[in-house]
Structure 1
Amino acid sequence: MNMHAAPPRTQAETALIEAFGERVSELPGDGAVIVKRDEAIESIKDGLPTRRVEDWHYTDLRRLLSVVPDYDPTANPKPLAPVLQGSAVLTILNGMASGKAPTVEGVTFQNLSEKLTDGSFARALGARDKDDAIGSLNTAFVSDGWFVDIAPGAAVAAPIELQNVQAGGQTHVRMPVRVGAGAKATIVERQAGSGAALSTSVSNLLVGDGAEILWLIVQDQPVTATHFAQFNAELGRNSKLTLFIMNTGGKLVRQEVRVKAAGEGSDFQLRGVNLLAGDSHTDVTMVLDHVARGTTSRELIRNVVTGKARGVFQGRINVHQQAQKTDAKMACNTLLLSDDAAFSTKPELEIFADDVQCGHGATVTEIDHNHLFYLMARGIDEKAASGLLVKAFVASVIESLDDETIVDALEARLDTWFEANG
């Protein structure tokens, strides 16, 4: 009889299990919350995902997550200036909601720790399946965050910034947002820090019928940080969600996007810019389910990779049988600036409806030497000419947001990255 013993636990897996044993009594919630936490840590005990798991094929988490830092109760991060001037800022410092919530007409805020303590958030916890490592880690360790409730019909003038800042150690937060029917708002999710850290963050967005949301994710963690994030959204009838993701930092980064176009006539737009340098590894994985008739989506991802960086984009669009008249397009374009850089892309379509318009594409290339020669022939030195071409490649995605204030703020961050890595 052949017996296959489970592989020994890695240093990271052991550290996570031990940290849970030390921390669980201090985390908010009891009863149903504790049950969810216990289930989540059991999943971690079974082992982190490896490349044998399809969704993790390009990010072998068991191998790449080699070190897990201890909790650092002395970490004292400071709030940051908002990405968009004039934003109403909700800070999460070292994993805990900090300060008094701003007053915004039509919007209510609540510390998530309160909803964990009274058990009302228990049903929202839990992993999607046994391979949902981010969901399991966050469920096991989540301590706080902000719950945002936007009233039906509210037109929120100022952007709302959910600012998650770490200064080393471990931080695990959640940011659930509920948007009432017909409401409009801009939300910035800021992920930043200054220390060697393991950070998990889960954002859940429920968009009511006819609502319109612009959600910006700006991730600029330090090169010493591991950052795992999920963005989950469900769209109501005739609603619109535009999601913009900008990754410019982190050592090991995985950003998952899971969207359900559940309401007839709903529209999802994804724009992404990944600026990867050093020896970082950044993975953006998207799953989009069209489950209602007449839904639309467009996904455009641009990547710039230099140094020894590795990048991944996995995008899967599922068109369910009842989702007739779906119109979905996805494209991922990558510019490699170094012989040691690499990018893996896997676009997928799974279609069960017969009256749809769907397509996907991916390109990986270097700078066009004809364009470079053209600029240099007009007196521009090679480095400056390369910078102009690379910025133009990325800026077109940013400018598609069609809001001058937002475009200027994001292009300023683009310039900062090029100054450091150009």
Structure 2
Amino acid sequence: MNVHAAPKLTSAEEALIEGFAARRPSLTGSPEVAAKRDEAAAVLKAGLPTRRVEAWHYTDLRRLLASVPADGGAGYASAIAPLVDGSSVLTVVDGNAQHHAGIDGVRIEKIADRLMSGALAGDLAPLKADDTVGAINAAFVSDGFDLTIPEGAEIAAPIELQNVHSGGQVHARFAARIGKGAKATIVERQTGTADALVSSVTDVEIGDGAEINWLIIQDQPKTATHLGQIRARIGANAKVTIFLMNTGGKLVRQEVHVVAAGEGSDFRLRGVNLLGGDVHCDVTMVLDHAAPHTTSTEIIRNVITDRAHGVFQGQIRVDRLAQKTDAKMACNTLLLSDEGEFSTKPELEIFADDVACGHGATVTEIDHAHLFYLMARGVEEKLARGLLVKAFLREVIEELDDEAIVDALEARLENWFENHG
């Protein structure tokens, strides 16, 4: 008989398990929430995922997460300037939701209150066995904001949800219920000032006929680990855009889980990954078309410099009832360094027989003919390269069709290129 010994825990795994045991008595929550936390901790005791877990094949978390910082930051974090002037800002600082002014037409609750009442218990279950991001967040989450936008409401100014830290461990959560026919732009900012382990999970329910733009801007410090997840369920004839921009962090995993649940719904995912240094950044999407006459497009643009490693995994599933689905996915990468890498894995699972689905991926360098054209007209090489790269990215950003947001995102491009050009 062969006896297989369990693998020795890594220092990061030990820190997570021991940290949960130490913090459990002080973690906020009803008995139902406490039970969900214990279930999540049991997932962590089984160990962090390795390459052998298909969903984590390109991000061996057990190897890449070398250590876990101590709980609690330095305590000097504060709200940051919003992406767009005039936004309504709700800030979580070092894991604690701050006092806020009201937003007309929006009901706002703190996640800590929903944990205490038990109302959030049902949302804490991991999506499946390999949902490590969900498990870490469910075990440790402390606070965040829950929004309800009523039926027919049109929120003119962007709502900005900030998760700001000064290091240590930060586990926050956001949620939103969008009523029928409502319109809003919501910006989720993930940032900090020191080494940290950050987990953030967002749950969004989008009513029939709603129109929502949800932006996630991640610019963690270069030593931080960011584990993010957004879960969205889209109603009939609703139009939803999720826009991702990753410009920071040391180890980043951003998951997007979407169910196109209502007939006639339209989903767009747009992503810009600016990866330099030795960052490892993984964007993983799972999209379920569960109703007929649904559409989706996913376009991810990546710029890789230095020794950075990027990943995009995109899985589109089409249910047998989802006839007339139209789904297209593309991942395009510019490699600006011989040492940089990008891995892409598009997948289609189609169980309907009347659909139009496709995917594509490209990895290339800057077109030297285009570079020569600009340099021959007196444009210095570094500037010419920057112009070409920015043109490659702006095509995606300008789809947002909001001048203030487009200008703000292009300013972030400029700032990144100043440091990595």
TM-score by length of 2: 0.99
In structure 2, what is the equivalent of residue 105 of structure 1? 104
Aligned-partner Cα distance in 2 for 1:400–1:121: 35
In structure 1, what is the equivalent of residue 311 of structure 2? 312
* 8 Å contact from structure 1 (residues 76, 93) kept in 2: no
In structure 2, what is the equivalent of residue 88 of structure 1? 88
Aligned-partner Cα distance in 2 for 1:232–1:181: 18
Structure 1 gaps, min length 5: none
In structure 1, what is the equivalent of residue 40 of structure 2? 40
Per-residue CA deviations over 1:30-82 (Å, capped at 9, x if unaligned) read 31111100111111010100000111000000000001000125422011000
Matching residue's letter, 1:332: C
In structure 1, what is the equivalent of residue 183 of structure 2? 184
Per-residue CA deviations over 1:286-339 (Å, capped at 9, x if unaligned) read 000000000000100000000000000000100110000000000000000000
Per-residue CA deviations over 1:328-377 (Å, capped at 9, x if unaligned) read 00000000000000000011111111111111000000011111111111
In structure 1, what is the equivalent of residue 68 of structure 2? 68
* 8 Å contact from structure 2 (residues 73, 166) kept in 1: no
Aligned-partner Cα distance in 1 for 2:53–2:29: 32
In structure 1, what is the equivalent of residue 227 of structure 2? 228
Aligned-partner Cα distance in 1 for 2:375–2:341: 27
Structure 2 gaps, min length 5: none
* 8 Å contact from structure 1 (residues 96, 143) kept in 2: yes
Aligned-partner Cα distance in 2 for 1:266–1:388: 36
Matching residue's letter, 1:257: V
Matching residue's letter, 1:334: T
Matching residue's letter, 2:92: I
Per-residue CA deviations over 1:109-162 (Å, capped at 9, x if unaligned) read 011100101111111112112211000000000000000000111001111000
Structure 1 stretch displaced more, 292-301 or 69-78? 69-78
In structure 1, what is the equivalent of residue 416 of structure 2? 417
Aligned-partner Cα distance in 1 for 2:74–2:395: 42
> How many residues are matched?
421
**In the alignment, does 2:78 pair up with 1:78?**
yes
Q: SS of 2:389's equivalent?
A: helix
Q: SS of 1:204's equivalent?
A: strand
In structure 1, what is the equivalent of residue 349 of structure 2? 350
Aligned-partner Cα distance in 1 for 2:180–2:399: 25
Q: CA deviation at 1:99?
A: 1.8
Q: CA deviation at 1:25?
A: 1.0
TM-score by length of 1: 0.99
**In the alignment, does 2:367 pair up with 1:373?**
no
Matching residue's letter, 1:7: P
Aligned-partner Cα distance in 2 for 1:275–1:73: 27
* 8 Å contact from structure 2 (residues 74, 167) kept in 1: no
Matching residue's letter, 1:99: H
Aligned-partner Cα distance in 2 for 1:194–1:283: 22
Structure 1 stretch displaced more, 19-28 or 330-339? 19-28
Matching residue's letter, 1:4: H
In structure 2, what is the equivalent of residue 2 of structure 1? 2
Aligned-partner Cα distance in 2 for 1:237–1:109: 25
